[in-house]
Amino acid sequence: MNSLSGHNIIIMGGTTGLGLSAAKKLVALGANIVITSRHQANVDAALAQLGPQAKGFAADAATPDAAEHAVAMFERLDALYHVAGGSGRSKGDGALHELTDDGIDYTLDLNLKSVMLSNRAAVRQFMKQGVGGVILNMASVLGWSPSPQYFASHAYAAAKAGIIGFSKSIAAYYAPHNIRVNVIAPALVETPMSKRAAESDEIMTFIKTKQPLDGGRIGLAEDCDAAALMLLSPDSKFITGQVLAVDGGWTVS
C-alpha cells in the first residue's frame, strides 16, 4: 500500500501551478486533500480535475481564518504543504531603492506571513492530536542565491529567506513532538507567476545557462512533485529542517 494512501493533506495554494500539480499526484496516490486559493473560480476549476478526494474553498492565505478553516475540514490532519505565494512586482516590489511601502507589506504578507499562519494552525492541530505531523513550505532559490540582473525583487527574496529561517527554527523546536518541517526551493518554474520571465527571450537565454539541466530550460510544475511527495510521506520520517533546491542547477551555475 502506498505510504500516502488515506492521508489528509492541506495544500495552501493548491489550485494552479506547483500546488495543483502536487494535488493531482497526491489524489492519484490515495490521499485526501483540501486546497485553497484567493479566487473561487480557480478552486472550482481545480476541484473539477481532482475529483471526490478533494475539497476546497476560496480564502486569502495571509489571514488567520484561511488555514484554520482548512484544518477544521479534517478530523485528523497528517500534513500541510504551503505553496501559496507570488510576485509583488505589481504592488511595488523590486530593487531596494525603488521598493514601495505597499510593495513591502503586500509581498511579505503574501509570501511570509501566510506561511507563518498556516504553519501555526497545522502545529496547533498536530499538538492536539499528539502523534506528530508534516509541514512542507515553498521557498525559492532567490532566498540565498540572487540573480541581480533579471530577478531583483528584494522583498520577495527577504520573504523566501525568511521562510527558510522560520522553517528551520520550528523544525528544531517541534522535533521532540515528531513534527517534521522541510522546505522546497525551486528556481524559475513555468507558472502563472513567472509569465513575465517566460515571455522574455533575453531571460530565457539566460536561463539556458543558469538552469543547465535537461537541455537548459525553465522548470515545470511537475519537476517539484517527486521532492514534495517524498518530504510529505512517512518515508522521510527521519528528515527535518532541510532545504531541497529543485533548481535545474541554478545554485551551482
Residue 138 maps to a domain: yes
- Model pLDDT, residue 1: 45
Q: Which long-range CB contacts under 8 A does 66-72 form with residues at least 24 apart?
A: 66/12, 66/36, 66/114, 66/117, 66/118, 67/10, 67/12, 67/117, 67/118, 67/120, 67/121, 67/122, 68/121, 70/10, 70/12, 70/34, 70/36, 70/118, 70/121, 71/10, 71/121, 71/122, 71/124, 71/125
**Containing structural domain, residue 82:** 8-190+220-248
Residue 197 maps to a domain: no
Cite the active site residues. Answer: 156
Burial class (CB in 10 A: 0-12, 13-18, 19+), 178: middle
Give 30-94 as a DSSP string.
Answer: T-EEEEEES-HHHHHHHHHHH-TTEEEEE--TTSHHHHHHHHHT-SS--EEEE------GGGT-S
Residue 29 maps to a domain: yes
**35-72 exposure pattern, b = at least 16 Cβ within 10 A, e = fewer:** bbbbeeebbeebbeebeeebbbeebebbeeebbbebbe
How many distinct structural domains can be found in the chain?
Answer: 1
Domain harbouring 166, CATH code: 3.40.50.720
What is the value of pTM for the model shown? 0.97
Beta bridge partners of residue 137, listed in sequence order: 82, 183
Residue 62 maps to a domain: yes
Residue 40 maps to a domain: yes
**CA separation (Å) from 244 to 23, 140, 206, 227, 239?**
19, 10, 23, 8, 11
Residue 2 maps to a domain: no
Pairing of strands 54-58, 32-37: parallel
Residue 120 maps to a domain: yes
pLDDT digits (tens), the chain, 253 positions:
479 999 999 999 999 999 999 999 999 999 999 999 999 999 999 999 999 999 999 999 999 999 999 999 999 999 999 999 999 999 999 999 999 999 999 999 999 999 999 999 999 999 999 999 999 999 999 999 999 999 999 999 999 999 999 999 999 999 999 999 999 999 999 987 788 888 999 999 999 999 999 999 999 999 999 999 999 999 999 999 999 999 999 999 9
**Residue 152 zone, left/alpha/beta (φ > 0; ψ -120 to 50; rest):** beta
Our CA dihedral for 107, 108, 109, 114, rounded to 10 degrees, sits at: 110
Residue 208 maps to a domain: no
Local structure of residue 100 (DSSP, 8 states): -
